[in-house]
Amino acid sequence: MPRVTPQHELDLLVALIGTEPVGVAIETLMQKLGHRLQLRTLQRRLALLVEQGRIERLGERRATRYRRLPEAAAGQATVVAPARQPLQAPALDDVPLSAQGAEIRAYVSQPRHLRSPVGYRLAFLEHYHPNHTAYLPLELREQLHTLGRSPADQTPAGTFAKDILNRLLIDLSWASSHLEGNTYSRLDTERLIEFGQAAEGKDALETQMILNHKQAIEYLVLAPDPARVQTDTLIALHAFLSDGLMADPAAVGRIRRRAVEIGGSVYLPMALPQRLEELFGIVVQMAAEITDPFEQAFFLMVHVPYLQPFEDVNKRVSRLAANIPFICHNLCPLSFIDVPQQAYVDAMLGVYELNRVELLRDVFVWAYERSCQQYVAVKQNLVPPDLFRLRHRQALAEVVAAIVRQDEAAMAEAVTRRMPSTVAPAEHEHFVQLVLAEFKALHTGNSVRFGIRPLELAAWQSRQGTGTGSIQ
């Protein structure tokens, strides 16, 4: 009985051929495979893949080359991707993969010396046309819209994110940091965000990374105007996320001015600063033109890290930027809860080295389904938002901070003296009670909401002679 070729070996061969858009000679394939196959064995496998419609043969004799067929043509082949089951639990510690995703993973799992070095390919961006090209098929986007619909879908932009902000701060800060190798547990993250308690035995940079995420998320959710996909917003996200983490402090919130490398990858990003800035503007403009929030989010997750516009923290920027369309459309946010780090890393390597998005799409869809599962209970138990507090949030912060810094007791008279002009006379009493209620709940862990440093608050509490201030 003839030996059956394992499917993963065929997938690997297709992935190798796919790295050369114009086709690849059989001698080159032998080299890429490290001469692990005999020539006749390789020829048989190539003939099988041609028969299945996954690759095509070009030329004759010495000029023969093999080229991977586009996904649309390959869809007619004998071997096709099985139908994807929504909300399917991962096998072991992994994300369920499509056939195309498995091909990509087989390729990027090889040692680096077996993968062809590549640079930035402008054609990858040029071939995308907003609202005509789609990385996420229409049927898939419709499924995601159904999953992500929130009780706040008819309310002003950003309402749902504000409603679940406390949960989102913890989930997204922890999960996004975890994808970068941060060892904080979710419980450690909760204690840090809620009470300002840094976990014992953790590196200070890990603590900083979590707090940076918190500030960046608050910036997106609590901005007076809804966050938009624009260059200023992404640069601000980088400034928040990279604060205190860059070797060169001047690189915080700035397009990079030097070449960078990506650990574990054979991809070399573009190095010219002027060209980088121009392309960054084009990427963001193209993303802003995309009308579907899921396609827009995924485009940002693909093309921001691929361009590598900043010296570091590019993937973190892309993950938070991907939430902008969800915030604006009151959809369930993408928290990246439970996403295996290696699956995400492999998916990004597929984008970097192959310009293929199928593996990242597998991760994105599964991650969004997981996020929606996480927030089902939150959706069902939402407390109606305090619209008065939201409307006067900035004035509230200014009054609280002024009372602390002027070393005054938290009393109604002190609040009344500082009554903002934006508060109507009929609402004065309500505003006073709101400020006094904030002082009752004020502690070092949440004082940063008002721009008050922990040492400032501690000194004020000490002078007032109470742990929470003198409240009357």
Residue 105, domain member (yes or no): no
Closest among 65, 129, 8, 107 to 358, alpha carbons compared: 107
| Same-domain status, 233 and 303 | yes
Query: What percent of the chain has a predicted confidence (pLDDT) above 90?
Result: 52
For residue 92, the 8-state DSSP code is T
Residue 88, domain member (yes or no): no
Q: What is the pLDDT of residues 357-410, one digit of tens each?
A: 999 999 999 999 999 887 765 555 555 556 788 788 888 889 999 999 998 998
pLDDT of res. 74? 40
| pLDDT > 50? residue 86 | no
Pairwise pLDDT comparison (144 vs 385), residue with the higher score: 144
Residue 96, domain member (yes or no): no
Residue 411, domain member (yes or no): yes
- Output the pTM of the full model: 0.66
Q: How many domains does the chain have?
A: 3
| Same-domain status, 291 and 149 | yes
Which stretches within 109-258 are classed as H helix? 122-126, 138-148, 159-163, 165-178, 186-195, 204-222, 231-242
pLDDT of res. 130? 96
Pairwise pLDDT comparison (67 vs 180), residue with the higher score: 180
| Same-domain status, 323 and 402 | no
Q: Which of 146-155, 211-220, 451-460 has the highest mean pLDDT?
A: 211-220
pLDDT of res. 6? 66
| Same-domain status, 273 and 187 | yes
| Same-domain status, 130 and 40 | no
- What average pLDDT is seen over the chain? 85
pLDDT of res. 89? 36
| Same-domain status, 280 and 345 | yes
- CATH at residue 48: 1.10.10.10
Q: What is the pLDDT of residues 340-352, one digit of tens each?
A: 999 999 999 999 9
pLDDT of res. 35? 62
| Same-domain status, 413 and 363 | no
Residue 85, domain member (yes or no): no
Measured distance CA(206)–CA(198) in Å, rounded: 10
Strand-pair category, 118-119 with 267-268: parallel
| Same-domain status, 56 and 193 | no
Residue 93, domain member (yes or no): no
208, with CB counted inside 10 A (0-12, 13-18, 19+), is middle
Single residue among 340, 360, 380 that ends a domain in this structure: 380
Cα dihedral 32/36/40/41 (nearest 10): -100
Q: What is the pLDDT of residues 43-79, one digit of tens each?
A: 888 888 888 888 888 877 777 888 888 653 443 333 3
Measured distance CA(103)–CA(68) in Å, rounded: 12
| Same-domain status, 281 and 374 | yes
Residue 306, domain member (yes or no): yes
Alpha carbon 269 to its chain's center: 19
| Same-domain status, 175 and 230 | yes
Strand-pair category, 65-68 with 55-58: antiparallel
Give the domain extent around 406: 387-464
Single residue among 330, 355, 380 that ends a domain in this structure: 380
pLDDT of res. 83? 39
Average pLDDT over residues 18-40: 77
Residue 106, domain member (yes or no): no
| Same-domain status, 260 and 124 | yes
Query: What percent of the chain has a predicted confidence (pLDDT) above 70?
Result: 88
Single residue among 345, 380, 415 that ends a domain in this structure: 380
> pLDDT band at 254, cuts 50/70/90?
very high
Average pLDDT over residues 198-202: 92
pLDDT of res. 467? 53
* 3-state SS assignment for residue 58: strand
- CATH at residue 294: 1.10.3290.10
| Same-domain status, 406 and 321 | no
Q: What is the pLDDT of residues 314-341, one digit of tens each?
A: 999 999 999 999 999 999 999 999 899 9
**263, two tokens:** 């650990």
CB 222 within 8 A of CB 397: no
Pairwise pLDDT comparison (154 vs 128), residue with the higher score: 128
141, with CB counted inside 10 A (0-12, 13-18, 19+), is middle
Pairwise pLDDT comparison (245 vs 448), residue with the higher score: 245
